[in-house]
Amino acid sequence: MEQGMIHIYSGDGHGKSPAALGRAVQAAAEGKRVVIIQFLKGKGLEDSPFLRRLEPEIKFFRFEKSEEDFAELSGERQEDEIRNIRNGMNYAKKVLCTGECDLLILDEVLGLIDNHIITVEDLKNLINNKAEETTLILTGIQLEDDICILADEVSKIETLKFKVW
């Protein structure tokens, strides 16, 4: 199997998660195993009946319990969610270490750094556990230079014009 790459989709524009999802569908169509772990998405995509039909080729996980945005939660509820998020990060580490999938997408993982839930060093350590053949996609708005240099490909998504349907 070919060596896995690290891709980052960042920027303040809309479309980072859909771009990652497109890559997931493409990989699944090629017979590859795909895992998507979502962070900071509120309800997220996990409960979508359409996306559930993509399983088992694409497996979706969200470890947070709240359907509200993280920033809107009380301090106590944020602490609960931080524990859940750390469980998600531990699962991501397991998936990367074991080579359980061909493509792992950590959707909005860069936002965990922005919210001081994990550090750049935590993310580096996670990336360093990646099995050689696993491809990893990270998404989020802000991108630290320390993370950028670890990637094989970085895409900056920006919105030039936004029109409501």
Extended strands (E) in the chain? 6-10, 34-38, 58-62, 103-107, 135-140, 153-156
Mean pLDDT of 70-87: 90
Query: What domains can you pick out in the chain, each with its CATH number?
Result: 6-156 (3.40.50.300)
67, 101 Cβ separation under 8 angstroms? no
Q: Is the dihedral of CA 13, 18, 22, 27 positive or negative?
A: positive
Q: Is the pLDDT of residue 160 over 90?
A: no
Mean pLDDT of 146-165: 88
Taking the C-alpha atoms of residue 85 and residue 41, their distance in angstroms, rounded to an integer, is 11
Q: What is the pLDDT of residues 2-39, one digit of tens each?
A: 578 999 999 998 899 999 999 999 999 999 999 999 99
**Is the pTM value of this prediction over 0.85?**
yes
